[in-house]
């Protein structure tokens, strides 16, 4: 067999192996997979749905209101929607949600079982206030056992949902 041909085959195999290894490192470093357990985010994310998580949002990219994030709570992964951003004041009064005294009319707490909760929470420089889409089945920032979510506990932003 021709040595030039063998050398060319070795170059191709090495290039493919390097490309696969690089792709694996990029995917493992910047993306993750999580499983939704429970009904707190229904109907957007249902119980048993798998979500792809973009880890770049943990440290490098800004998170915004309405982003859905995966975070760690007591060692377990949870998925909720960001409502309050660092430095803001989140208030709940008479079933209404206010951010820095401005009514957020896209979230209606009046029809949820927890509509009688009144809160006034000042978020720290690295804290987020999160709510589940299904307010009656969501253990979220309204409750003391969850509270504000620190950025260090965030795994990343939900990028894609597999239904």
- Which tokens belong to 24? 């694996």
Write the pLDDT tens digit of every residue in 80-98.
999 999 999 999 988 889 9
Which helix (H) or strand (E) element contains residue 143? none
CATH architecture for segment(s) 33-162? Ribbon (2.10)
- Which pLDDT does position 133 carry in this prediction? 93
Write the pLDDT tens digit of every residue in 65-78.
999 999 999 999 99
**Burial (Cβ within 10 Å: 0-12, 13-18, ≥19) of residue 147:** middle
Domain-wise residue ranges, the chain = 33-162
- Which pLDDT does position 53 carry in this prediction? 96
In total, the chain counts a number of residues equal to: 163
Query: If you average pLDDT over residues 12-38, what whole number do you get?
Result: 90
- Which pLDDT does position 111 carry in this prediction? 74
User: Peptide bond before 43: cis, by omega within 30 degrees of 0?
Assistant: yes
* Alpha-carbon span 81 to 128, nearest angstrom: 10
* Alpha-carbon span 137 to 43, nearest angstrom: 12
């Amino acid at each position: 067999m021709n040595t030039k041909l063998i050398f060319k085959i070795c170059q191709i195999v090495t290039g493919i192996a390097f490309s696969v290894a690089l792709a694996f490192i990029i995917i493992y470093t910047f993306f993750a997979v999580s499983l939704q357990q429970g009904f707190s985010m229904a109907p957007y994310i249902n119980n048993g749905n798998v979500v792809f998580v973009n880890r770049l949002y943990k440290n490098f990219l800004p998170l915004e209101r309405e982003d859905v994030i995966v975070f760690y709570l007591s060692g377990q992964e949870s998925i909720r929607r960001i409502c309050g951003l660092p430095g803001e004041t989140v208030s709940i009064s008479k079933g209404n949600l206010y951010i820095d005294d401005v009514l957020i009319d896209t979230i209606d707490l009046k029809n949820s079982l927890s509509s009688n909760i009144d809160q006034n929470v000042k978020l720290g420089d690295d804290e987020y206030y999160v709510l589940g889409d299904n307010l009656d089945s969501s253990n979220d920032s309204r409750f003391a056992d969850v509270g504000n979510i620190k950025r260090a506990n965030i795994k990343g932003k939900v990028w894609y949902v597999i239904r």
